[in-house]
Amino acid sequence: MIRYLRVLALFWGSAVAAELEYRINFVIATLTSLGGLCGSIFGLFLFYRTGYQFQGWTWLDALLVLGIFTLLQGFSATILIPNLNKIVTQVQQGTLDFVLLKPISSQFWLSVRELSPWGVPDLAFGLIMIVYTGQRLGLGWQAYCLGFLPMIAGALSLYSLWFMLGATSIWFVKVYNVTEVLRGLLEAGRFPIAAYPVAYRIFFTFVIPVAFLTTVPAQAMLNTGGPGWWLASLLLAVILLGLANRFWRFALSFYTSASS
């Protein structure tokens, strides 16, 4: 365990050092993140400006969902997306061999090797939004405690889904755009799940669990969801994590290096 933490520190130190060569991009990333937030709020405003409300969600509640969404977006930009891109390149060029030879879990190596500081503005703006709407809604510290675990569970579920998508590159090789599919699906989490028609709700709860990424944590914070959803989100994270690990082993048994 200690060894893994030390390796992690080395990974992220070198990754950040490499990314800091492009410092102007950090400014652009901050602007992008700010622009994205304005865009999302504008998109939400288009619904609420005529007095319409997502069923059971006030304007502030919906903003809270948006804050959690922004936070998750930051998480995926910081860790998920850069690493996913790496898996694909490694399968394509055959350099995955070197990873497999290392005396360390290959899933660990592939999941956390890269760290992109470009997601940090999103993380910051997401937190600011959550705290701001929390203040306006008068949420106490209990609300944040209740929301914390589902949020972590949501991030882990997202990671597992993403890792399984990345693992399919063993078969399909050039799947750069799984990032795009992932991003496209995640977009649905911008809005509380109650805003969608029934068919969408079923899809986003049971087929692709977007509901558990943003809506369930928000409901936990607002104390409207009930303990069932709270537990379900933790359970889902555990199941998906186990599944991701099994799937990776399964996929590896099909790996034939590009060079041999």
Nearest to residue 67, comparing CAs of 44, 51, 85? 44
Among the listed ranges 62-70, 90-98, 182-190, 242-250, the one in contact with other proteins (CB under 8 A) is: 182-190
Cβ contact 84:167 at 8 Å: no
Q: In degrees to the nearest 10, what's the CA dihedral of 39, 115, 120, 20?
A: -110
- Is 240 a binding residue for other proteins by CB under 8 A? The answer is no
Shortest Cβ 224–other proteins spacing (Å): 19
Q: What is the DSSP letter of 57?
A: B
Among 191, 212, 229, 248, binds other proteins (CB under 8 A): 191
- Is 32 a binding residue for other proteins by CB under 8 A? The answer is yes
Cβ contact 79:113 at 8 Å: no
- Is 185 a binding residue for other proteins by CB under 8 A? The answer is yes
Nearer to other proteins, 5 or 24 (CB): 24
Nearest to residue 78, comparing CAs of 132, 191, 155? 155
Give the C-alpha separation, 136 to 227, whole Å. Answer: 24
Among 94, 183, 251, 255, binds other proteins (CB under 8 A): 183
Nearer to other proteins, 13 or 39 (CB): 39
- Is 85 a binding residue for other proteins by CB under 8 A? The answer is no
Nearer to other proteins, 196 or 229 (CB): 196
Shortest Cβ 118–other proteins spacing (Å): 8
Nearer to other proteins, 184 or 226 (CB): 184
- Bridge partners for 54 per DSSP: 57
- Burial profile 129-156: b = 16 or more Cβ within 10 angstroms, e = fewer: bbeebbeeeebeeebeebbebbbebbbb
Give the SS3 label for residue 138.
coil
Among 3, 5, 51, 228, binds other proteins (CB under 8 A): 51
Q: Which residues bind other proteins (CB under 8 A)?
A: 22, 24-25, 28-29, 31-32, 35-36, 39-40, 42-43, 46-47, 49-52, 172, 174-178, 180-181, 183-185, 187-188, 191, 195-197, 199-200
